[in-house]
């Protein structure tokens, strides 16, 4: 159960920055899906933005940090070379190409020009310099919040979980599944 809590917490940590940027339900009640820009951001602009922000390095660091949690969530019989292959394959994946479509669906060439110009200003440089610490602190706060919520919900359903465990033990000889 603790592995599950930690895995869910890790997912919350990864998702927290994206969730924090989502508009509230009240703000989107009457909104419709925005149309893609007539002149989407170019591949070169996306590349420059990703380079300026260090997004690719941050995502690789986050992936390396999550690998131990992924390993813990896998069944114990998964060989180490398989886990190494998973990590190497994920690290070698062309994430930039994978995310480019999302940028092009939402940002125009004009947006790209303005964003890149901002990142090159003193304020943009300060934001970029502070962003790793901001993200780290946000992820820690999100992870703690996620863990607290999961633990509170589990405690709220403790009797139900205990009853389900007892039933499972009776049906399966008391051996819980390993992961």
How do residues 64-84 score in pLDDT, each as one tens digit? 888 998 888 888 899 999 999
Count the neighbouring beta carbons within 10 Å of the beta carbon of residue 52: 16
More confident residue, 6 or 145: 145
Give the gyration radius of the chain's Cα atoms: 21
138 burial type by CB count under 10 A (0-12 exposed, 13-18 middle, 19+ buried): middle
- Total domains present in the chain: 1
With respect to residue 161, please indicate whether it lies within any of the assigned structural domains.
no
Tens digit of each residue's pLDDT (9 = 90 or more) over 4-48: 444 555 554 444 444 444 444 444 444 456 899 999 999 999 999
The full length of the chain comes to: 179
Residue 111 lies in a domain: yes
> What pLDDT, on the 0 to 100 scale, is given for residue 10?
52
The answer to the question of residue 30 being in a domain is no
Is the distance from CB of 146 to CB of 13 less than 8 angstroms? yes
Alpha carbons 7 and 117: distance in angstroms, whole number: 39
- Residue 176: pLDDT band (50, 70, 90) is low
At residue 59, the pLDDT reads: 84
Whether residue 143 contacts residue 12, with contact meaning beta carbons closer than 8 Å, is answered with yes
pLDDT value at position 55? 87
Cβ(5)–Cβ(147) below 8 Å: yes
Using alpha carbons, list the distances in angstroms from residue 45 to 48, 106, 114, 122: 5, 13, 10, 20
What is the span of the domain harbouring residue 63? 38-79+91-146
Residue 121 lies in a domain: yes
Helix (H) / strand (E) containing 164 = helix 158-172
pLDDT digits (tens, 9 = 90+) for 116-132: 999 999 999 999 999 88
Give the orientation angle of helix 43-53 with respect to helix 109-119, to 10 degrees: 20
Does residue 101 fall inside a structural domain?
Answer: yes
Structural domain contains residue 22 = no
The answer on pLDDT for 171 being more than 50 is yes
CA distances to 99, 113, 116, 170 from 43, in Å: 11, 12, 13, 58
Q: Does 17 fall in a domain?
A: no
Round to the nearest angstrom and report the end-to-end CA distance of the chain. 10
Q: What's the token pair of residue 164?
A: 């389900």
In a domain, 153, yes or no: no
pLDDT digit string, tens, across residues 85-113 = 999 998 888 889 889 999 999 999 999 99
Which of 1-5, 64-68, 148-152 has the highest average model confidence (pLDDT)? 148-152
pLDDT value, residue 160? 95
| Residue predicted with more confidence, 175 or 53 | 53
């Amino acid at each position: 159960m603790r592995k599950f809590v930690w895995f869910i917490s890790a997912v919350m940590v990864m998702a927290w920055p994206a969730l924090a940027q989502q508009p509230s339900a009240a703000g989107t009640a009457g909104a419709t899906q925005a149309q893609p820009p007539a002149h989407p951001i170019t591949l070169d602009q996306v590349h420059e933005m990703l380079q300026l922000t260090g997004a690719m390095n941050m995502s690789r660091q986050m992936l390396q940090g999550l690998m131990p949690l992924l390993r813990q969530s896998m069944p114990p019989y998964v060989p180490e070379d398989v886990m190494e292959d998973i990590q190497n394959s994920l690290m070698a994946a062309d994430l930039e190409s994978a995310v480019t479509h999302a940028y092009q669906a939402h940002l125009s060439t004009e947006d790209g020009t303005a964003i890149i110009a901002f990142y090159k200003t003193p304020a943009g440089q300060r934001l970029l310099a502070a962003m790793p610490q901001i993200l780290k602190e946000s992820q820690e706060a999100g992870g703690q919040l996620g863990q607290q919520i999961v633990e509170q919900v589990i405690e709220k359903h403790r009797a139900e979980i205990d009853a389900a465990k007892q039933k499972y033990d009776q049906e399966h000889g008391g051996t819980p599944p390993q992961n």
